[in-house]
Structure 1
Amino acid sequence: MTDLVGSVRQFVAPERVDLTFDRKASAVRSLDKGLVAGVGVVDITPRPGVPKGGYAAMSNFGNGFRTRLRVRSFYIYQEGGEPVVIVQADLHAGSSIIRDKVAERVAEKTNIESNNICMTCTHTHAGPGQLLDSDFYNAFASNKPGLDVQLYEFVVDKIVESVLAAYEDRKPAKLATGKIDVWHATRNRSLIPHLSNPGKVDKTNIYDAINPNLYMIRIDQKNADGVFYPRAAISSFSIHGTSVPVAEKSNNADVWAYISGGLQSKISQHYDAPWSAVHGAFQGTHGDIAPNIKEGQAGFVESRRLGLDIADKAWTLFQSLEGDLCDCVNLGSAIREVDFYNEAVKYPGSIASRPVVGTALTAGAFENETPFLYHAPLFKHGSSSARWLFTQGEHGHKRWVGSYLQLLVLPKKEFPHNRQLQVLTIGDFMMLALPFEVSVEAGRRLVDSVGRVLGAVNGDKKEVFVTSLANGYTGYAVTPEEYARQYYEGGHTIYGPKTTPFLADQFAKLTSDWLIQGDFADLPHHKALTFKVCRYFEKQAPDELLVASALGVPTYHAGEESCWRFSFFERPPKELDFSIPLVRLECRDEKGLWVPLLIDGEEVDDQGYDVGLYATDVVDNSGRVKYQAVWYNPRLATVGTESSIYRFVYSDQINSNEITSAEFLGATD
């Protein structure tokens, strides 16, 4: 009843918050010589109880984590210019209100200008929602509406921490860029719209109609001994973060956990470097691209298989770049905020004057369909959801949800319209960053548009690529031909069939202006925005009388992923920080002492793939919550491990002690 009252209140008289942003000039003049680079990694895993973003109304509240959510920031600076900072976040999307606030805060302590920072994402559908830059998507991208201010501040703080860490980590560096094709890890989930594009042939199948390119920037740093060692890789690849099913309640980075972690492990095992390697991988043109999971087998087994396969390809590319490393690269950046509403007024017909939601959007994407609606008349993708009469309006073939009633129910002011478009150059790469989910063919048209501009200026040849959902969220961008078929992606192209041509023109202008002016930020010096709010991430002061305690003996559970589970009571999630290490496995050594369990030289703990932590609905009389720590795939420990006696160790962060489980024998079935 309380939830119902809260939902009604949120709709009728929502609480609002005002946010302000100031674009500040950087306060530091760099004295670094040559090429320098640095890396900063920070955990952003939220505590249980926060709505997850990505699956709209079908999303769940997070109940813990299976793999960690992280922010990885990369600082690159060449003497005499401006730096480039790429922020890679395990989130559903970038967000301009996060990017702008981070830029404002780091400018006070660094040489980083606002145009230098790009916030990319993995587009995992298993991270927190309530962080986007419009009321519309904060309401409909997850299962609850509103901007969670406490969560927003938490994420901003963490990203600022990671950027400053990258800045402080800077050392003389060498850099190389390259790409490799990755096949069979993805497939096109909307083949019929894709084949509607000129030049596509019917024999094209779902495995060919993809963007196979994995782009990489390799960074080596100079150590105190004068030797350069591998430090990081930054990658872009096109794959939806949907290999884990909608029913999964844990926070996790989906396939991206394995893409990033798999390459990190390969680098660390191959090179005797004085630091840990970092791999930040983010989206490409994934709009119509799904992970190539086996039919009906969405989950962590398939996610791991695909992610590690992609990581293997990334490792091949990483090694191949060793001979191309250089200590002098061209860097550049430009960003422009474009008001789509103003552009529609200034240039009638260039873009729809207001967003509209199509029935195909509400039916859901292929393999993640909305129950009932996906097969309902007027909603089912294709001939049912596309209009074939009266298609001359600014939204063309789109069948509107609720017809013209939508204009009243979904106010124009709540949609995203001030959109940040950005170009960054790093060596031979030029990255086009935009807040849309871009289809494969739409991405090619954006690249071609910018390529023509570059080619007209001294024959400049850059490897141009697109990263989707950078610096915000605005739904999809598909080609006019794809849009006319009104599959999910077209129904979610809220600015109509001219979205991609409009974006292509905007990026051509942005690139042309950058070539003439050099680095710039065409952004307001001050912004004041207001948002509807929600409060799920609020933290409570810890009850000093509550103490964690183990509950019973760990139990073994067979299944697709066999596992051991350890239950214990601990204070409620709102009193805890889930972004720190909490659970690890230990084993007895030959002397009978407890030591960290290692597999392939890496500790088995909640920083990897196979240790999760979850809150349950069970609460004891003192108010403590029952939690489960889970060790998945314990059979991996039988390879090269002499011990078969294990235990869980949980860190009680409030009382600064550790809770251990009873010892248990490794699984043998």
Structure 2
Amino acid sequence: MESTDALGRRPLLKAGLATLLGTASTPSASAESRDPYLLGRGIADVTGQAAENGMMGYARLGQRTSGIHQRQRARAFAIAERDAPDRRVALVVVDAGMIFGCVREAVLARLSERLGDRYTQSNLLLTATHTHAGPGGFSCHTLYNVTTLGFQPGTFESLVAGITDSVVRAEDDLAPGRLRLARAALTDASVNRSRRAFERNPVADKRHFPGAIDPTTTLLCLERSGRTVGVVNWFATHATSLSPDNTLISGDNKGYAAYHWEREVSGVDYREPSPGFVAAFAQSNSADMSPNLELRPGTGPTDDEFANTRIIGQRQYAAAAELVHAARPVHGRIDHRASTVDMSATRVDGSFTGDGREHTTCAATLGASFAAGAEDGPGPSFFEEGAGNNPFFGTISRALYRASPELRSRQAPKEILLPVGPMGWVPHVLPIQLVRVGELYLAALPQEVSIVGGLRLRRTVARRLGTDPDNVLVAGYANDYAGYLTTPEEYDQQDYEGGHTMFGRWSLPAYQQEFARLASDMAAGEPSAPGPSPEDNPRGGRVRLQPGVVLDAPPAGRNFGDVLREPRRQYRAGESVRVAFVSAHPNNNPRRGDSFLLVQRRSASGWRTVADDGDWSTTYRWERSGIASSTATITWRIPEGTPGGLYRIVHRGDAKQAFGGTVSFSGTSRQFRVGPASDQSPDPLRRQDSTASIRYRW
């Protein structure tokens, strides 16, 4: 039996950097000339408002940001044919709950300003990791802004600017290279949270997933000059290791996996303009896949949600890292197709419906089981999952179905809770996209697809392209968002995922039909019909109900940046340093690409930053301490192996003034020593005072 360490990691090839970088040899000029692709990587900060911003994912009204555990990032990969550079795509993986259509439109508009017509809706693929630990309020549709008190322009701007920057940086980084691809199985990072619905599927489909999970982990490696310089991994598991009780911004398990490979293994400094290595951990068909292995919020494999975030992230990293040397060369074209589909009224041919008859999708409605939530993220106790378990809404729905047999044929047995489509609360004209990277095909759609639903989509696309279904991946959470997508059989169970399949029982067959169309066009080398205009979508979501910051003021007798709680004078590795500062509201300036905190070590040349608020070892917490005053508490959990020496904590922020401008400030703790308690070196702290400085920005 294979041994594991305390984090559940399988043994890796010796030395993480050797695994990452592959051979260190430099190919000859003739070998370099044979590199078939142009490859570029870019990474940028997309962290939104760190305080009092409703969070996106759990739909809990009281879950509002109160600081940062790790910053959110966008990771972009530009890939073009070297001999035909106009054949290019950009794959972007964003630490966010979803990608909404208005975000994508704004990114395309800004890319047009900076790169001309290089990227369009056809060759720019934006996907979200689906972290539930990020700020929300960046949709233009009402449903997704209800629990965030409306539209949050600060968070929207951070996402759009960061995604745009990541793509531009990837373009600037383009150079000749090769692609490699590998697959393996990862069986200890997910569990099926909707087993009753899964069991309704035909035996032939269930046989494909003997553990009721999709264990496939797929790695695409970007290689230049014989070195792996970037990777994209696809694996189906929700980014919900952090529970609804968490209020700190984080990329969750997929964000940690990327951070670990980039920063802890490869030594990437996010403050540098060129990171040297970029690792993205993307979603696939993960609707019914949970990382909470005990099927309770924040549980499995331990009862510590932050430990679980790290463990599940480590497991995804370890499985991906083991594939680097096993990856085989990728050959073939870069290609792409895109279209839109009106999911509220798509006629589906009988060849896709399973019963041989034509059916039609329906205007979006949410079922009562949607309000019940999933096993690892339950809703109010008076709602229950499953058809027939919500009598009040069941009675109403039966009356509606009697009055409209057409509605019954499209939405039954859903117990209708909210007709969000007729209310104009969600989009109904949705983007679909098919991207080819050599032998790999990505079927991108704006929904959360179950593993059997993903299997059917992959098989549909593969048949039209004449390839193996293993060469087709579902890229969920892509380009917009419209809830879940189950098989018709799973839909009939009406658990959470079925109740959130808004466009009715025939939604998956509709997508199969439309992706078959894109795949047929790609196989024939023909353009695809653009579909209906997304401008037909309602736009009522940019209502802002929460006022912005009015004023920041320090407590009487204090200045911004003053230290309220100093560190001890001596610490060991493994202990936590905690410092509190007089602060201001972080929404005045999200410090995108910067930090609210610095951990610094004294060296011969001065103070050197060793960690900031993007690191796993740090936590930045903000809280109000009065009507206009606030406190920032910074924690640094000293990692094992931290060099001994003198350290300090720096806090930086921006305060809003009564006359409308902002003032930048910083505060610095006294110095403290990291090392063994027996260290009797001279202590310079005796004469060291805390400092605060102020710099105005208008």
Q: TM-score, normalised by structure 1?
A: 0.81
Offset, 1:76: 0.8
1:531 to 540, 554, 562: 540
Match of 1:522, SS state, is coil
Q: How does 1:249-268 map to 2 (within 5 A)?
A: 249-265=247-263, 268=266
Q: C-alpha offsets along residues 30-64 of structure 1, whole Å, 9 cap, x if unaligned?
A: xxx95212112111112322211101135511111
Instruction: Give, in whole Å, the separation in 1 of the partners of 2:495 and 2:90.
Output: 36
Instruction: Give, in whole Å, the separation in 1 of the partners of 2:529 and 2:108.
Output: 12
Q: How does 1:150-549 map to 2 (within 5 A)?
A: 150-199=154-203, 208-221=211-224, 227-265=225-263, 268=266, 276-291=276-291, 292=293, 293-294=299-300, 297-321=303-327, 324-325=328-329, 329-343=332-346, 350-374=359-383, 379-381=384-386, 384-385=389-390, 392-401=408-417, 406-407=418-419, 411-455=422-466, 463-518=471-526, 522=530, 527=535, 530-532=539-541, 533-534=543-544, 538=548, 547-549=560-562
Instruction: Give, in whole Å, the separation in 1 of the partners of 2:149 and 2:664.
Output: 36
Match of 2:80, SS state, is strand
Offset, 1:320: 2.2
Return 333-342 or 536-545, whichever deviates more.
536-545
| Residue of structure 1 equivalent to 2:37 | 35
Q: C-alpha offsets along residues 569-618 of structure 1, whole Å, 9 cap, x if unaligned?
A: 123223233322232223456x7x86547xxxxx3322221212121121
| Residue of structure 1 equivalent to 2:144 | 137
> Which one-letter code corresponds to 1:302 in the other structure?
N
Match of 2:282, SS state, is strand
Q: Check 1:575–1:144 CA distance in 2 against 1; reply closer, same or farther (3 A cut).
A: closer
| Residue of structure 2 equivalent to 1:46 | 48
Match of 1:115, SS state, is coil
- Contact residue 333 and residue 520 of structure 1 kept, 8 A: no
Offset, 1:508: 0.7
Higher RCO (CA 8 Å, separation ≥ 6 residues):
1
Instruction: Give, in whole Å, the separation in 2 of the partners of 1:531 and 1:540.
Output: 26
1:92 lines up with 2:89 in the alignment: no
Return 528-537 or 488-497, whichever deviates more.
528-537
Q: Check 1:385–1:282 CA distance in 2 against 1; reply closer, same or farther (3 A cut).
A: farther
Match of 2:254, SS state, is helix
Instruction: Give, in whole Å, the separation in 2 of the partners of 1:410 and 1:330.
Output: 39
| Residue of structure 1 equivalent to 2:27 | none
1:551 lines up with 2:554 in the alignment: no
Offset, 1:342: 4.1
Match of 1:384, SS state, is coil
Q: How does 1:604-619 map to 2 (within 5 A)?
A: 604-619=611-626
Match of 1:120, SS state, is strand
> Which one-letter code corresponds to 2:362 in the other structure?
S
How high is the sequence identity, in percent, across the aligned residues? 24
- Contact residue 39 and residue 80 of structure 2 kept, 8 A: yes
Q: Check 1:203–1:76 CA distance in 2 against 1; reply closer, same or farther (3 A cut).
A: closer
| Residue of structure 2 equivalent to 1:17 | none
- Contact residue 50 and residue 536 of structure 1 kept, 8 A: no
Q: C-alpha offsets along residues 610-665 of structure 1, whole Å, 9 cap, x if unaligned?
A: 21212112138xx4421111113x2x24x36233x532122456767752212335
Q: C-alpha offsets along residues 214-235 of structure 1, whole Å, 9 cap, x if unaligned?
A: 12211123xxxxx343221112
Q: Check 1:262–1:438 CA distance in 2 against 1; reply closer, same or farther (3 A cut).
A: same
Instruction: Give, in whole Å, the separation in 2 of the partners of 1:576 and 1:521.
Output: 43
Q: Check 1:203–1:105 CA distance in 2 against 1; reply closer, same or farther (3 A cut).
A: closer
| Residue of structure 1 equivalent to 2:649 | 648
> Which one-letter code corresponds to 1:467 in the other structure?
A
Instruction: Give, in whole Å, the separation in 2 of the partners of 1:99 and 1:203.
Output: 38
Instruction: Give, in whole Å, the separation in 1 of the partners of 2:168 and 2:496.
Output: 40
Offset, 1:121: 0.6
- Contact residue 354 and residue 412 of structure 1 kept, 8 A: no
Offset, 1:265: 4.4
Q: Check 1:435–1:69 CA distance in 2 against 1; reply closer, same or farther (3 A cut).
A: same
1:625 lines up with 2:636 in the alignment: no
> Which one-letter code corresponds to 2:45 in the other structure?
D
Match of 1:317, SS state, is coil
Instruction: Give, in whole Å, the separation in 2 of the partners of 1:394 and 1:504.
Output: 17
| Residue of structure 1 equivalent to 2:589 | 576
> Which one-letter code corresponds to 1:534 in the other structure?
R
Q: Check 1:525–1:396 CA distance in 2 against 1; reply closer, same or farther (3 A cut).
A: closer
Instruction: Give, in whole Å, the separation in 2 of the partners of 1:104 and 1:521.
Output: 22
- Contact residue 104 and residue 114 of structure 1 kept, 8 A: no
Offset, 1:135: 2.3
> Which one-letter code corresponds to 1:161 in the other structure?
D
> Which one-letter code corresponds to 2:310 in the other structure?
R
Offset, 1:175: 1.3
Instruction: Give, in whole Å, the separation in 2 of the partners of 1:201 and 1:77.
Output: 36
Instruction: Give, in whole Å, the separation in 2 of the partners of 1:128 and 1:349.
Output: 41
Match of 1:50, SS state, is strand
Q: C-alpha offsets along residues 179-208 of structure 1, whole Å, 9 cap, x if unaligned?
A: 221111111111111111111799999x91
1:83 lines up with 2:92 in the alignment: no
> Which one-letter code corresponds to 2:230 in the other structure?
A
2:600 to 558, 562, 586: 586
1:147 lines up with 2:176 in the alignment: no
Q: Check 1:667–1:531 CA distance in 2 against 1; reply closer, same or farther (3 A cut).
A: farther
Instruction: Give, in whole Å, the separation in 2 of the partners of 1:521 and 1:118.
Output: 18
Instruction: Give, in whole Å, the separation in 2 of the partners of 1:525 and 1:541.
Output: 43
- Contact residue 436 and residue 473 of structure 1 kept, 8 A: yes
> Which one-letter code corresponds to 1:399 in the other structure?
E
Offset, 1:160: 1.6
| Residue of structure 2 equivalent to 1:103 | 108
Q: Check 1:330–1:298 CA distance in 2 against 1; reply closer, same or farther (3 A cut).
A: farther
Instruction: Give, in whole Å, the separation in 1 of the partners of 2:428 and 2:111.
Output: 26
Q: Check 1:563–1:217 CA distance in 2 against 1; reply closer, same or farther (3 A cut).
A: same
Q: Check 1:539–1:230 CA distance in 2 against 1; reply closer, same or farther (3 A cut).
A: farther
- Contact residue 45 and residue 71 of structure 2 kept, 8 A: yes
What's the Cα RMSD here?
Answer: 3.6
How many residue pairs match? The answer is 596
Instruction: Give, in whole Å, the separation in 2 of the partners of 1:668 and 1:474.
Output: 55
- Contact residue 94 and residue 472 of structure 1 kept, 8 A: yes
2:70 to 60, 67, 81: 67
> Which one-letter code corresponds to 1:358 in the other structure?
G
